[in-house]
Structure 1
Amino acid sequence: MCEAEKKDLYAVLGAGPSDSVQQLRHRYQQLALQYHPDRLRGECSSEAESGAKKFLEVDAAWRILSDEATRRRYDLQRRDECAYTYCCRCGGAFSVSEEEVEEETQKRQQDEDAEGTGDGRHRGVVVCCDTCSLSVDVTWSLHRMTPTSKRHK
């Protein structure tokens, strides 16, 4: 997967997955006006160059997210990259990848081995919604890889 595909296209537009096409269009238009190369002609070359790169990034994000079919494919691809996803009440999602779970489990297991506790307590991470400010505490037993979640305000 190329670097552009790894970038969160919603974040590029300053939007979220629950935003409508009209909201995305509005964000795109704002950013396109701000970073358009014609608008940055009088700026120094490095500023104009970074503005042009940002404009191309915004334009590429809009091309994918403006079309219903390509947006659906992109959203499905984003979901597939996450091992565990929980829908937020705002329409966004809490997502934890299998790599994150494995990495955190190994780290906590090493800590537990070093402390000699071995009590099998639940371990986890705080995960933020990709759209709003809500977060959840995703926990799992070190001996059982089944994540559960509790809400935080």
Structure 2
Amino acid sequence: MSAEKDLYAVLGASPSDSVQQLRHRYQQLALQYHPDRLGGSSEADSGVKKFLEADAAWRVLSDQNTRREYDLLRRAQELKQDWPVDSTVCLEDMTWDEDECGYAYGCRCGGGFSVSEEEVEEETQRRQQEEEEEQEAEGGVMVCCDTCSLSVCVTWSLHRKTQMLK
């Protein structure tokens, strides 16, 4: 189950619709696009595809548990996409703050972004374990400004940071 395709849009419905409303939309689409109704027309292939999409959407949204999981996944994806990223900052461009045991970077509003050494170490270890097979060589975290709503993506080379930490 993924949030790539909006299952509500497939049914022509909205997340606030009841199960009965979703069932009604599904039944309308099933009647319209069912392979038995289309016969051998030239639109049969696209109709079968639409029928299968509607059927898959209905299977997820008709069950209370799978619908809840889908809604949570969808919401998480929306939050991730709506995050206002101002820019990308390299860890090497940030200033080491001895008092805070972390890195700091100034925001254009006058506030600042900060990343603790612990966050960098944890993210580096997590990424190294996750990405060993894919040969990804960059770590990163999203950091919010302490004053305004902007955020930056702080990145660093996993290999270089590992060497810096040792």
Structure 1 letter corresponding to 2:68: R
Residue 82 of structure 1: how far off its partner (Å): 2.4
Check the 8 A contact 2:3/2:74 in 1, yes or no: no
User: Which of 44, 48, 54 is equivalent to 1:58?
Assistant: 54
Q: How does 1:1-153 map to 2 (within 5 A)?
A: 5-44=3-42, 47-83=43-79, 97-98=82-83, 101-102=84-85, 105=86, 145-146=148-149
Secondary structure at the counterpart of residue 36 of structure 2: coil
- List gaps (5 residues or longer) in structure 1: 85-95, 107-118, 121-141, 148-153
**1:133 corresponds to which residue?**
none
**1:88 corresponds to which residue?**
none
Residue 79 of structure 1: how far off its partner (Å): 1.0
Task: Give TM-score scaled by structure 2 length.
Answer: 0.51
In the alignment, the residues of structure 2 paired with residue 56 and residue 83 of structure 1 have an alpha-carbon distance, to the nearest angstrom, of 29
Structure 2 letter corresponding to 1:60: A
Residue 43 of structure 1: how far off its partner (Å): 1.1
| Largest Rg, 1 or 2 | 2
Aligned length: 98
In the alignment, the residues of structure 2 paired with residue 97 and residue 25 of structure 1 have an alpha-carbon distance, to the nearest angstrom, of 31
Residue 81 of structure 1: how far off its partner (Å): 1.2
Secondary structure at the counterpart of residue 6 of structure 1: coil
Q: Note the aligned Cα RMSD (angstroms).
A: 2.9
In the alignment, the residues of structure 1 paired with residue 147 and residue 9 of structure 2 have an alpha-carbon distance, to the nearest angstrom, of 34
Report % sequence identity.
63
Give deviations 1:79-134, integer Å, cap 9, x for gaps: 111227xxxxxxxxxxx522xx22xx45xxxxxxxxxxxx96xxxxxxxxxxxxxx
Task: Give TM-score scaled by structure 1 length.
Answer: 0.55
